[in-house]
Amino acid sequence: MKAAVYYNNNDIRIEELEKPKIGDKELLVKVHASGICGSDVMEWYRIKKAPIVLGHEISGEIVKAGAKVQNYKVGDRVFVSHHVPCNKCKYCLNGHHTACETLHSTNFDPGGFSEFLRVPEINMECGVFLLPDRMSYEEGTFIEPLGCVVRGQNVARFKTGQSVLILGAGISGILHMLLAKTNGASRTIVTDVNEFRLSKAKELGADVVINAKDNVPDLVRKNNDNMLCDLVVVCTGALSAFEQALKSVDRGGTVLCFGATEPEAKLLLPINEFWRNDITIMPSYGAAVGDIVEAIDLIKSGKVPVLKMITHKLGLSETGQGFKYVSEGKDSLKVIVEPQR
């Protein structure tokens, strides 16, 4: 089979790999669509594992099922989670599924930028979800990123009527905006340095968009009844965005660190100010089963209109161009690779 093998952001090679062989409790999935995630182009994070086949936002069709597989069959249209928790350790039992060591060590084989992939037993048991009949493979690529967003807003304890500031208008940022609006945000404000992405955020329903090069806290006040925001979500790895977030959160509010900086980055916290003003700062990583189920329902119901976010659909041979689109930002938002084209 063919796969797009990652060496670095500017070196994606189409190579011939052996089609995976499956065991009695495993599945073989034909990949129909695989989204390029912002984390796929975090070169500092990915390059240490190169060469590797990336791609974890996938949807496809089961073409072979092991002899002992009971709940799935050939022909089923599915979304598959690449990381799954054990649901048994103390972290899982206390609701911290994405801190589970099993979640951090599981994956399918190889990645989604390939014609086929093998679903190991543990992923098959708690990481395979049937696509609703009317959900397209393209919509299925949004299940994983939206699941992560669902988890983020849940751990941040978002409440109807809160104002929300989202720093970064990539896929995660716009999904956060759409989910917040769906759940009754009083106002959604989105920032970015990319005017194309700001225009897409506005087109998709953001109440206010702000160029991140401007004075964000001042403009938030001007556009939010002279108040800062109740929930501030950082959806970029730029340290300047984290610094803006600390200055843009209202008393009693929450800063959700959804994006990831480079490992050596340090953020100075105004501890005394946060202590006096009852401000919470917290991270969110990944998604668990409940988050995925909620994401599927949100897409199925049309409450989060994901198809409007797609800017590019490419064949497997064009994966390198897709990485260029995502890493450069420019006039792209959601880039999908379709390995069967």
- Using one digit for the tens of pLDDT, what is the confidence trace for 43-72? 988 999 999 999 999 999 999 999 999 999
The amino acid that residue 289 corresponds to is V
Distance CA 239, CA 209 (A): 20
Per the structure, how many domains does the chain have?
A: 2
Q: Is 233:251 a contact under the CB 8 Å cutoff?
A: no
Q: Over 157-193, what HEC string results?
A: CCCCCCEEEEECCCHHHHHHHHHHHHCCCCEEEEEEC
pLDDT at 122: 97
CATH number at residue 242: 3.40.50.720
Residues 262 and 113 in one domain: no
Residues 140 and 44 in one domain: yes
Inside any domain, residue 151: no
Residues 251 and 210 in one domain: yes
Inside any domain, residue 152: no
pLDDT band of residue 286 (cuts 50, 70, 90) is: very high
Residues 57 and 167 in one domain: no
Could you tell me how far CA 312 lies from the centroid of its own chain?
17
Residues 163 and 247 in one domain: yes
The helix (run of H) or strand (run of E) holding residue 62 is: strand 57-65
What's the rounded mean pLDDT across residues 6-10? 97
The 10s digit of each residue's pLDDT in 141-177 is 999 999 999 999 999 999 999 999 999 999 999 999 9
Looking at 238, 262, 283, which one is the last position of a domain?
283
The 10s digit of each residue's pLDDT in 186-219 is 999 999 999 999 999 999 999 999 999 999 999 9
Residues 239 and 315 in one domain: no
Inside any domain, residue 260: yes
Residue showing tokens 């990485």? 323
Crossing angle for the helix pair 143-155 and 171-182, to the nearest 10 degrees: 60
Residues 186 and 255 in one domain: yes
Inside any domain, residue 72: yes
Inside any domain, residue 90: yes
Residues 135 and 11 in one domain: yes
Distance CA 214, CA 149 (A): 26
Residues 30 and 137 in one domain: yes
Residues 87 and 219 in one domain: no
Higher pLDDT, 284 or 329: 284
The 10s digit of each residue's pLDDT in 76-122 is 999 999 999 999 999 999 999 999 999 999 999 999 999 999 999 99
Residues 278 and 293 in one domain: no
For the beta carbon of residue 246, count every other beta carbon within 10 angstroms. Answer: 19
pLDDT at 329: 87
CATH number at residue 38: 3.90.180.10
Looking at 240, 260, 283, which one is the last position of a domain?
283
The 10s digit of each residue's pLDDT in 297-340 is 999 999 999 999 999 999 999 999 999 999 998 899 999 999 99
Looking at 241, 268, 283, which one is the last position of a domain?
283
Tell me the average pLDDT of the chain: 97
Confidence check: pLDDT of 18 > 90? yes
pLDDT at 258: 97
Q: What is the domain extent for residue 19?
A: 2-146+287-338
Residues 6 and 141 in one domain: yes
